[in-house]
C-alpha cells in the first residue's frame, strides 16, 4: 500500500465501519423480529434465503473484534445500534439486554482508545412497525425520535459522533421503488413517502439529541457518480435524473431545505400533503456530513414511465458486486458536496471498500485488489484534503466479512475474513497493509 498516515492532515481519523444486523447475530439477546428477517424468509429475495440470525456472532465476540480494530491502529469505530434489539416491538418496553449490550460495547471501545461513532438506524426496522406502514407512515418520525431518546439516553454521553440514518436512498428508493431491500415494495407513492419520511425522522432524531446535550451530530449519505452513457442530450438528462434521485434529493433536503426540480417532476404528486412545511425539522443543523462511496453509474434513457432510465455496463474493472472501480468519483463528490451543499462543514468518508471472492490459502487471505482499491481511493481523499476540501476522516467498509443483505454471505467486503461455519476471524493482507500504512 502506497499511502501513509503522515500524508494526511493532523487529526485526520481512520476507522472501519460495520452495522448491527450485518454482524451481531440477531437471534441473540432478546432482539425483536425485523423486516429483514421476514424479507429474507420470503422466497426469491435473498441468496439462499440467508439472514442475520447468527451473522458474525459479534454479540458474543465483540471484544475480539474491537481488539482487531485497535491492533490495526484505527482511531475510530463506526457501528450501529439495532432498533429491534433496543425496542423489540419498535415502541413500548425496551429490552434491557439490548441496552446492556450497547453499554458494554461502548465501554469496550473506550477501553481500547477507539472513538465510538454511532449510527442509529442501519436498515433493520422492527417488524411491528413495518406492519403499521413502516417508512410510508409519517408517524415513523416520532417512533424514531422515541427510540433515539432511549438508546442515546443510555450511551449518548460516550459517543464521539452520532448519525441518525445510514443511506437514506437505500432505506427509501432501493427498498420501496426498486424493491431490492426490505420491505421489498415497488411503488412510486410508497417510495416518495419513504424518501420524505426518512429525512423527517433524521431531523427529529437530531432535535432529540440536541435536547439531550449530545454533540457532533451528522448525516450519512450514499452517493453514486452519475454519467451519461453517450453524448446525447437524452443520456445527459437520464444521468441528471439519476443524480437527482440518488444524490441531490437527500443532500438537498438536509442542506438546502429543497428537493431538486428534476426529482419533483416525477415525485411531487406522490409526496405526502404538507411536505414543504417539514424542512425546518429536516434542516436541523449538523456538525458534519458523511459520504459513503463505492462506484459510478452510466445512464441511458429508457421507454416507460418516469424516471425513464437504464443503467449501462461500463468499461472499467469491476468488484465482486459488479460495481465499476472509479476512485475519481470520490474526489468529485468531496469537492461538489463542499462547494454546493456543506461549505466548511467537516466531511467524512463514512464507507468505502470493495467485495472480492477472498479465499483462505495456507492459513492466509491475499486480497491485492482490495489493497489497490483502498490505496487509489485514499489517494483521492488525500488530494482533496491537500486542495483544502474539509475532509476529516475515512472509514473502510468493512471491518470484517458480513451479511451483505440480498446478496447473503457471498460478497466479502471485510479487511478481516470470517469463516461463516467456524466464525473464525482471519485478518486479510489488506488488514496488514492498512496497519502498516497507519503506522507510517
Q: Cell digits for 305?
A: 414511465
Least distance from ligand IFM to the Cβ atom of residue 265, Å: 28
- The pattern of x and - marking residues 160 through 179 that bind ligand IFM according to CB under 6 A reads -------x------------
Least distance from ligand IFM to the Cβ atom of residue 314, Å: 18
**Binding of ligand IFM by 124 (CB under 6 A):** no
Rounded to the nearest 5 percent, the helix, strand and coil shares of the chain are 45, 20, 35
Least distance from ligand IFM to the Cβ atom of residue 271, Å: 25
Least distance from ligand IFM to the Cβ atom of residue 269, Å: 30
Q: CA 22 to CA 170: how far, in whole Å?
A: 15
Annotated catalytic, 167? yes
Least distance from ligand IFM to the Cβ atom of residue 436, Å: 25
Q: CA 294 to CA 373: how far, in whole Å?
A: 10
Burial class (CB in 10 A: 0-12, 13-18, 19+), 420: middle
Q: CA 348 to CA 391: how far, in whole Å?
A: 6
Q: By C-beta, is 174 or 209 nearer to ligand IFM?
A: 174
One residue of 74, 250, 397, 431 binding ligand IFM per CB under 6 A: 397
One residue of 247, 292, 352, 356 binding ligand IFM per CB under 6 A: 292
Helix locations, 156-243, DSSP H: 168-169, 175-176, 188-211, 233-243
Q: By C-beta, is 123 or 431 nearer to ligand IFM?
A: 123
Q: By C-beta, is 99 or 171 nearer to ligand IFM?
A: 171
Q: By C-beta, is 266 or 290 nearer to ligand IFM?
A: 290
The single residue of 124, 351, 380, 404 carrying the catalytic annotation is 351
Total number of residues that touch ligand IFM (CB under 6 A): 8
User: Which residue has 416507460 as its cell numbers?
Assistant: 304
Least distance from ligand IFM to the Cβ atom of residue 332, Å: 19
CA 359 remoteness from chain centre: 26
Q: CA 184 to CA 138: how far, in whole Å?
A: 19
- Asked whether the CA dihedral 128, 212, 172, 77 is positive or negative, the reply is negative
The single residue of 24, 50, 124, 167 carrying the catalytic annotation is 167
- 317-334: burial string, b at 16+ Cβ within 10 Å, e else: eebbeebbbbbebbbbbb
Q: By C-beta, is 147 or 395 nearer to ligand IFM?
A: 395
Q: CA–CA distance from 147 to each of 176, 207, 362 (Å)?
A: 23, 13, 46
- The pattern of x and - marking residues 11 through 50 that bind ligand IFM according to CB under 6 A reads --------x--x----------------------------
Q: By C-beta, is 250 or 275 nearer to ligand IFM?
A: 250
Annotated catalytic, 24? no
Q: Cell digits for 98?
A: 439490548
One residue of 90, 404, 412, 433 binding ligand IFM per CB under 6 A: 404
Q: Cell digits for 123?
A: 436498515
Residue ranges that bind ligand IFM, judged by CB under 6 A: 19, 22, 167, 292, 351, 397, 404, 413
- Catalytically annotated residues: 167, 351
Amino acid at each position: 500500500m502506497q499511502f501513509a498516515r503522515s500524508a494526511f492532515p493532523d487529526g485526520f481519523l481512520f476507522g472501519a465501519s460495520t452495522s448491527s444486523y450485518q454482524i451481531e447475530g440477531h437471534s441473540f439477546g432478546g432482539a425483536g423480529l425485523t423486516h429483514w428477517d421476514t424479507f429474507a424468509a420470503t422466497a426469491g429475495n435473498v441468496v439462499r434465503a440467508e439472514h442475520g440470525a447468527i451473522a458474525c456472532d459479534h454479540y458474543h465476540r465483540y471484544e475480539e473484534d474491537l481488539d482487531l480494530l485497535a491492533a490495526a491502529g484505527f482511531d475510530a469505530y463506526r457501528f450501529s445500534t439495532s432498533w429491534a434489539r433496543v425496542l423489540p416491538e419498535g415502541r413500548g418496553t425496551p429490552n434491557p439486554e439490548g441496552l446492556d449490550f450497547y453499554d458494554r460495547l461502548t465501554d469496550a471501545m473506550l477501553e481500547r482508545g477507539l472513538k465510538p461513532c454511532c449510527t442509529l438506524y442501519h436498515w433493520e426496522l422492527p417488524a411491528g412497525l413495518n406492519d403499521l406502514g413502516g417508512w410510508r407512515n409519517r408517524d415513523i418520525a416520532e417512533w424514531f425520535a422515541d427510540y433515539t431518546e432511549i438508546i442515546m439516553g443510555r450511551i449518548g454521553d460516550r459517543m464521539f459522533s452520532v448519525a441518525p440514518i445510514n443511506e437514506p436512498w437505500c432505506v427509501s428508493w432501493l427498498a420501496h421503488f426498486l424493491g431490492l431491500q426490505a420491505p421489498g415494495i415497488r411503488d412510486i407513492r410508497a417510495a416518495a413517502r419513504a424518501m420524505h419520511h426518512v429525512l423527517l425522522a433524521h431531523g427529529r432524531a437530531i432535535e432529540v439529541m440536541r435536547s439531550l446535550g449530545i454533540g457532533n451530530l451528522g448525516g450519512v449519505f450514499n452517493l453514486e457518480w452519475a454519467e451519461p452513457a453517450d453524448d446525447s442530450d437524452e443520456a445527459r438528462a437520464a444521468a441528471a435524473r439519476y443524480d437527482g434521485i440518488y444524490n441531490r434529493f437527500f443532500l438537498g433536503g438536509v442542506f438546502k431545505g429543497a428537493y431538486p426540480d428534476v426529482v419533483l417532476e416525477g415525485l411531487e404528486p406522490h409526496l405526502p400533503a404538507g411536505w414543504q412545511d417539514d424542512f425546518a425539522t429536516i434542516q436541523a443543523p449538523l456538525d458534519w456530513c458523511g459520504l459513503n462511496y463505492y462506484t459510478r453509474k452510466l445512464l441511458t434513457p429508457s421507454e416507460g414511465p418516469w424516471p425513464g432510465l437504464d443503467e449501462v455496463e461500463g468499461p472499467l474493472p469491476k468488484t465482486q458486486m459488479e460495481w465499476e472501480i472509479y476512485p475519481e468519483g470520490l474526489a468529485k463528490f468531496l469537492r461538489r458536496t463542499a462547494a454546493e451543499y456543506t461549505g466548511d462543514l467537516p466531511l467524512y468518508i463514512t464507507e468505502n471498500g470493495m467485495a472480492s471472492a477472498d479465499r483462505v490459502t495456507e492459513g492466509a487471505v491475499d486480497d491485492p485488489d482490495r489493497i489497490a482499491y483502498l490505496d487509489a481511493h485514499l489517494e483521492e481523499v488525500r488530494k482533496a484534503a491537500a486542495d483544502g476540501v474539509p475532509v476529516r476522516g475515512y472509514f473502510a467498509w468493512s471491518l470484517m466479512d458480513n451479511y451483505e443483505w440480498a446478496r447473503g454471505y457471498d460478497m466479502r467486503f471485510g479487511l478481516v475474513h470470517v469463516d461463516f461455519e467456524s466464525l473464525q476471524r482471519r485478518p486479510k493482507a489488506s488488514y496488514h497493509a492498512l496497519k502498516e500504512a497507519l503506522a507510517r
